[in-house]
Amino acid sequence: MKMLNSVKLTFASRSVNEGFARAVVAAFLVPLDPTVPQMADLKTAVSEAVTNCIVHAYPDSIGPVTLTAALYEGGLVRITVSDRGVGIADVEQAMQPMYTTGNPEERAGLGFAVMQSFMDKVKVSSTPGRGTRVTLSKRLDSK
């Protein structure tokens, strides 16, 4: 499958950068002319993945979050969000809806459920102590 375009950026795991990451993805997708719901789905999934890095990967420190976005032939968009944080010991458990290791009073535990609901495919690979990579894929309907 031929890659048509790609971007890569690394930013600090500060919560103010959640909006920055969404804006970057939105700007990258503009040439595809996505529908409003498609754009909202992609921005939301990216926001969830980046928030996970900020809240969970680096709970007591600031570390690098790397985002890549790639566009392939046929309108396939693939986004990766990776960190070098604490990692996830049990990915399957972490992806269960309502499961959260965050503050249960304020975190709904829906991050992965939202990513899975809003994207075609979500892949998570993680090594405890080394970091986590989330790969989000979605095909935008060709018009």
Partner 1 sequence: MANVYFAPAGATLAAYLTGEIDHHSAQTLRREIDAQIDARLPELLTLDFSGVTFMDSSGVGLILGRSRRITGLGGKLSVQNVSPAVKKMLDIARIPCVTGGDKP
Known catalytic residues?
48, 52, 107
Instruction: Note the Cα 67 to chain centre separation in Å.
Output: 8
Residue type, 29: L
CA distance 128 to 110: 21
End-to-end Cα distance, the chain = 20
6 or 15, CB closer to partner 1?
15
Q: Tell me, residue by residue from 75 to 104, as one string, x for binding to partner 1 by CB under 8 A and - for no binding.
A: ----------------------x-------
Size of the site for partner 1 (CB under 8 A): 26
Region binding partner 1 by CB under 8 A among candidate stretches 38-46, 88-96, 120-128, 133-141? 38-46
Output the CA–CA distances (angstroms, integers) from residue 142 to 8, 74, 81, in the order listed. Answer: 24, 7, 25
Query: Which of 34, 85, 111, 131 forms a contact with partner 1 (CB under 8 A)?
Result: 111
The answer to the question of residue 16 lying near partner 1 (CB under 8 A) is yes
- Least distance to partner 1 from the beta carbon of 127, Å? 24
The answer to the question of residue 128 lying near partner 1 (CB under 8 A) is no
Output the CA–CA distances (angstroms, integers) from residue 123 to 14, 36, 102, 114, 116, in the order listed. Answer: 24, 24, 21, 13, 9
131: region left, alpha or beta (phi > 0 left; psi from -120 to 50 alpha): left
Binding site for partner 1 (CB under 8 A): 15-16, 18-19, 22, 36-37, 40, 43-44, 47-48, 51, 54-55, 97, 105-108, 110-111, 113-114, 117-118
